[in-house]
Amino acid sequence: MCAKRIPGTNKGDFNEITNRLTRRDFDILKALEKHKIMTAGMIEAIFFPSRHQAGARLLTLHELGLLERWRNPESKAYRYVLAWRGQCVLALIKGEKPPTKQAATFTAQHQFLSRNRPHTEGINAFFSRLHYSARNHSDISVSRLEKDHWITGIEPDGKGEIAWGDGTTLPFWLEHDRGTETLAYLARKIKSYRDRTIRNPDLRDSVLLIELPSERRLRNFLPVGTEVWKADLPDWENPTLAVAVCASTPNERTFTHPEEFPDAFTDRRWNILGWTGIHNLLELPAVAREIRSPNTAN
């Protein structure tokens, strides 16, 4: 039998807020600070074992004035952002001056109405799909890491690591494409990533994952991306960046009906530039090692 939910009062009482918040609640606030906007389904995939528990707790955090939520007329899914009190709590934790209510409200509303919201949600949905599928793999864990800022003119859309129980890891950067850039511009990013990994030994185990918005764009991109990947390749004595490319569906990019998604780790959808066949994420660490091995070609 489920415990009865205790509603929040939204009176801003500091004692109530501090007495009601759990470690997971603080983690949710910090995640929304980093990732700006998330649906209830995305938050559930990362922090909760069930939709019911996620919905009940998010409602309480909303009632306490820590989270704000809105939804479009055509969508039933709430989008959650940090409300004023949520922003104040995090500022106090860091010893910073809390924002004014007016400034915090502007930030929250801007994140919901921003034209970049679909891109932000697509990135968050990608990581949420990994977390969602990891529930069915007891030996797999997923970490979302701080993004790098080491490539001039390029900031990865996301950075993460998949770890297996046997010690295997797959550190990766994510480029989430919305189809707004030319294929040539997107392909040029591959050279920037590759050149940097060649110069920095600490980055050589990382792979680049590129997610495209349609199968048609995937078909058009593969020859363009492969040509850039092969151009001016260093000697095989040097590691070469592994680049895996796939297409996602509209539901996957908005994390709608995740129970219908294929398993993120076993689904064969990744085309690896310069390599034959279509692979899944379970196979990608071994393929990436082969690509980086001297005198290896495919």
DSSP-based three-state secondary structure for 44: helix
- Tokens 């489920």 -> residue: 2
In a domain, 4, yes or no: no
Same-domain pairing of 168 and 75: no
Same-domain pairing of 175 and 210: yes
Same-domain pairing of 58 and 175: no
- Greater pLDDT, 44 or 289: 44
- Tokens 């196979």 -> residue: 283
Q: Which domain holds residue 99?
A: 14-114
* pLDDT for residue 1: 42
pTM, two decimals, is 0.90
* pLDDT for residue 193: 87
- Greater pLDDT, 235 or 117: 117
Say if CB 176 and CB 123 are below 8 A apart.
Answer: yes
Per-residue DSSP letter, 9: -
Same-domain pairing of 138 and 256: yes
Q: Give bridge partners of residue 271 from the DSSP assignment.
A: 245, 278
> Please, which residues have CB within 8 angstroms of residue 269's CB and are 6 or more apart in sequence?
246, 247, 262, 278, 280
Strand boundaries in 109-222, DSSP class E: 140-145, 158-164, 169-176, 207-212
- Greater pLDDT, 7 or 207: 207
Strands 140-145 and 79-82: unpaired
* pLDDT for residue 237: 47
Confidence bin at 20 (pLDDT 50/70/90): confident
Q: Which two tokens stand for residue 225?
A: 């991306």
In a domain, 85, yes or no: yes
Per-residue DSSP letter, 147: P
- Give the whole-angstrom CA distance, residue 266 versus residue 285: 13
Single out the residue in 72, 95, 114 at which a domain terminates. Answer: 114
Say if CB 40 and CB 80 are below 8 A apart.
Answer: yes
**How many domains is the chain built from?**
2
Same-domain pairing of 169 and 275: yes
Same-domain pairing of 136 and 212: yes
pLDDT at residue 153 greater than cutoff 90: no
Number of Cβ within a 10 Å radius of residue 195: 14
Which long-range contacts does 51-54 make (Cβ < 8 Å, 24+ apart)? Answer: 52/2
Per-residue DSSP letter, 151: B
Single out the residue in 63, 90, 114 at which a domain terminates. Answer: 114
Using only C-alpha atoms, what is the Rg of the chain?
21
